[in-house]
Amino acid sequence: MRDPVIGIDLGTTNSAVASVEEGRPRIIPSRSGGRLTPSVVGLTPKLSERVVGTKAQELAKEHPDCVVWATKRFIGRRFTPELVQQAKAVVPYQLAGGNTGDVRVKMAGRTVPVTQVSAMILGELKLDAEAFFGRGVSKCVITVPANFDDSQRQATREAATIAGLDTLRLINEPTAAALAYGLSRGFQGHALVFDLGGGTFDVTVLEITDGVYEVKATGGDPALGGEDFDLKIVEWLLAQVDDNHRELVHRDVVSMHKLKVAAEQAKRELTEYEETLISLDGLGDHTQPARKLTGLETALTRHFFEQLCEPLSKRCIAVCESVMKEAGMDPHSVDTVLLVGGMTRVPLIRRLVTDFFGKAPSTDVNPDEAVALGAAIHADELARQSGAALLLDVVGNSLGVGVMGGRVKHLIPRNSSVPVVAKDVFHPGRHGQTEARIPIYQGESELQDENRKLGEVVLRNLQGASRADTPLEVTFELSNEGTLSVRATDLKTGLSEAVKLEARPHLPGQEAERLVKEQAVYAQKQAQADAKKTEETFRKLLERGEKLAKLLQRTAEESPSDEADSAMINVRSLLATGYSALEARDAEQCAQVARQLTQLLSGRRD
């Protein structure tokens, strides 16, 4: 039997894992029974034990300083004062810099690499999949925002490695969503994926024809998502706190967390209702023994919420306009608009989409699950090498070489199809130069200072006396996954060097190894605890199966038919297999029976 492969949507707000069974993609439920796992991680205050998902959300109610969320915004980034200021506007926890300049977060008195936080979430999804299949799971496809640069993609890969996962491929979230939508409905034509998640916004135009998914253009805003819409409500609520307490509330972690939770809840309620009431107490300084606390009672209408968020709405439209221009298309020429991300449930967003594209968006796909399902479909195709779908993706950011005058010469423009190879010839900056440093930049500006430097390739022992006698050929090679290789060659002597890209600050080797071992120990301990719970749950499931079998037998006796007999025999056979697997401690067989029996008991097929 082929090893199971999974697709993972590692989201800013929620994450999900899926697989393909019997040709159909399906979400793998968490061990606690949910279909989504909140991307929240915490460390308990006394023992520093990790908690992930809903348990971390519960911990945040009493100990918000022990929990972090929305860390996807910082993965693969370099720690800078500018980033710290940006973070203060969206999250209450503090950022710190690692020895190599990587970003870390402070929680429960500890400083934890952002990469490790992502690894904890991925590790939890891995455990969910292993409980679902009853066996080890390692191979996966993980989705990333289309505008993630190379450093962010490689950081995601490193997090997967720490979690014990073998990443078959990283694919862009909008492409994954379109893959799920196209394969399930046989769609052909131009599809636009409007992906507004918790922390990032992506827009991608694809042309889908006979299983070929060709990305025409992609763009986005890496600092725009549901968290920003929540923040608008938080700012409005804070402004209503009385003057004597406002500054105390603003500085207090517990109070600000209460405002954040209330804002998110209000946003959800306004999706269904025109008005929502917000009632809060216990706002103030929780750090002092003699607490000075206050409360807040107010109402928020959908209309006013939309006014608060007008600047964010304009940013959404600006991205759509830019992507349509790059695709060379008119908004009304899009055949269908697919909504992805929880924020697309908000009426404001659906109205924006309808007005801009001149048609109502599709609401047939669960926006929270489409990306994970698409990742699972692609993972299954890679494992089976079926060739059912061909993904022709594009470059999310332009890539180029730094030249004289502080400028950049772009070799691979944004939205070029990948894989791609590009070459150009340059010359040293002065006569008699014996060493050439060729910097590599990522970004859209023609100025080096406004782009991101990925690294440089160094050619030594140059022998040309004049610039013209020293032609240097630079070759960029970009893979399907956005991995960049750069080679510089002295065409006169044949001397060649490949770039060692420092696209991001890697974790130190010893620390990375320690985190891998730490994750493995946690996973083993957790798996043992899960096994006991799984056995108890399975025994209860078999008891429910026995009741179903008796009901089917009574039905067959009262209304004899081949169908009734077949249904009863099927359940009895499943129960017999389940009891045998339980006795033999065959976890994989137990899991298989559990999935089939659960479907029969629930009447669901997905």
Contact 230, 260 (CB under 8 A): yes
| pLDDT tens-digit readout, 423-461 | 999 888 778 788 888 889 888 889 998 888 888 888 888
Burial 432-454 (b: 16+ CB within 10 A, else e): ebeebebbbbbbeebebeebbbb
Check whether residue 196 and residue 327 sit in a common domain.
Answer: yes
In a domain, 596, yes or no: yes
Catalytic entry in 65, 72, 149, 228: 72
359 is catalytic: no
> Considering only CA atoms, which of 262, 197, 203, 241 is closest in space to residue 223?
197
Residues 498-527, mean pLDDT to the nearest whole number: 79
Strands lying side by side in the sheet with 189-196: 336-340, 189-196, 201-209, 212-221, 390-392
Poorest-pLDDT segment among 29-33, 268-272, 311-315, 357-361: 29-33
372 and 469 in a common domain? no
Q: Is there a domain that residue 503 lies in?
A: no
Instruction: Give 231-282 pLDDT, tens digit per residue.
Output: 999 999 999 998 888 998 998 888 999 999 999 999 999 999 999 999 999 8
Q: Which domain holds residue 291?
A: 226-310
User: Which is catalytic among the residues 9, 130, 227, 252?
Assistant: 9
533 in any annotated domain: yes
Q: Is residue 356's pLDDT more than 60?
A: yes
Nearest residue to 552 via CA among 129, 539, 560: 560
Q: What is the pLDDT of residues 193-214, one digit of tens each?
A: 999 988 889 899 988 887 778 8
**Tokens encoding 265:** 């809840």
Whether residue 119 is predicted with pLDDT greater than 70 in this model: the reply is yes
Please state the rounded mean pLDDT for residues 590-603.
Answer: 83
Indicate if the pLDDT at residue 502 is higher than 50.
Answer: no
Asked if residue 509 belongs to a domain, the reply is: no
pLDDT band at 418 (very low <50, low <70, confident <90, very high): confident
Catalytic residue among 149, 158, 195, 252: 195
State the Cα–Cα distance between residues 92 and 253, nearest whole angstrom.
Answer: 7
Q: What is the pLDDT of residue 389?
A: 61
How does pLDDT run across 553-572, given as a tens digit for each residue? 888 888 888 887 888 888 88
Q: Both 559 and 451 in a single domain?
A: no
- Verify whether residue 9 is a known catalytic residue: yes
**Predicted local confidence at residue 185, as pLDDT:** 60
Domain-ending residue, one of 455, 471, 498: 498
Q: Is there a domain that residue 504 lies in?
A: no
Q: Tell me if 358 is assigned to some domain.
A: yes
The CATH number of whichever domain residue 203 belongs to comes to 3.30.420.40
What's the pLDDT at 89?
82
Specify whether 548 is located in the same domain as 489: no
pLDDT at 127 over 90: yes
Between CA 599 and CA 219 the distance in angstroms is 40
Residue 540 reports pLDDT greater than 50: yes
This prediction has a pTM of: 0.81
Residue 532 predicted with pLDDT over 70: yes
Known catalytic residue at 243: no
Confidence of residue 503 (pLDDT cuts 50, 70, 90): very low
Looking at mean pLDDT, say which of 93-107, 408-422, 525-539 comes out highest.
93-107
Which one is catalytic: 65, 130, 158, 173? 173
Residues 213, 272, single domain; the answer is no
Whether residue 372 contacts residue 30, with contact meaning beta carbons closer than 8 Å, is answered with: no
Whether 249 and 376 share a structural domain: no
Is residue 72 part of the annotated active site? The answer reads: yes
Average confidence score pLDDT of the chain = 88
Confidence of residue 352 (pLDDT cuts 50, 70, 90): very high
List, for residues 362-388, the tens digit of each pLDDT value: 877 789 999 999 999 999 988 887 655
Residues 387 and 412 in one domain: no
